[in-house]
Chain A
């Protein structure tokens, strides 16, 4: 009896979660798919977004991601290497950095937004710009990226390191030729999670990259990201719901595309490395 009850509870919980997700997706597809067309992707928004497309918003989102990943990838990779390969897991330094990262990962994004506004926009004088927004996103993504890349490095068997050292391979060679490729899956996971978090972000961006919906002319220009567009259309613009759903659909498709491409590239890359000299 108790077994049955448990089975029932577990199944209904699972069903509930799935149903919620499907309902959400269904709603978005139902009300958004009709608006979706090629011109929706290539036109500028008109009438505060009620009509027209999302071309400048797509471009702004792309630029934001580019800045975010361009900054967070090298820093994240470097920190992960330092944590996993050059400091013992018990050292005070390692523990301190790791604990700080975990705290940072849990900080609400609005706090990142306020920090970004105070530091990048005002203190560094970058103003409301895609650069400020991208840098703020980088700060948000870094903890996720570092921790999962570090896990990637730690999951590489110790035998590789000892074997490489016994063959007289330098640490650099060991790192670049053996450990980095072996840790690649962890890096990709971090990248996908980080991109997901960055692309879904609104709170942190409203304060930093602004929400001007025209085509950005440079990184110093203010720009509106997809998720801010969704937020603005559904909250501030009466009659913008249909386009909000269409934009949300684009956002989801974009995420799927990024995840798919990342795993495809990793797969191909790993296979190629193995076969060729």
Chain B
């Protein structure tokens, strides 16, 4: 029953997109975070998607083949902002603080993209559900 698989596949996508939304939320929440050293500064998190192309990648008998998963979450490699703020209690000896490298604009765009992708997959599930219930109704004809 292939329509069964549609639910599993769209489910993996819903999961992946909601993780993406979570990282966006975390990035936006930490956009104004300041740190006293470059290492401690907050770096934006980006989920890396990967297609589930064969059975080995999922557990046996799983209906997720062809779906998507979050392979890993990587740090945004762009350099953190170094700002001279001697009045800040977190400032280092030379008076510098390190702001996060989160770009709020691109995070907002990413959030909208994730939300649209989520809606798309909800719609996929809805359509498959309707078709399935119509298929079950075939005995009534």
Decide if A and B are genuine partners.
no
Listed in ascending order, the chain A residues whose CB lies under 8 Å from chain B are none
B contact residues vs A (CB 8 Å cutoff): none
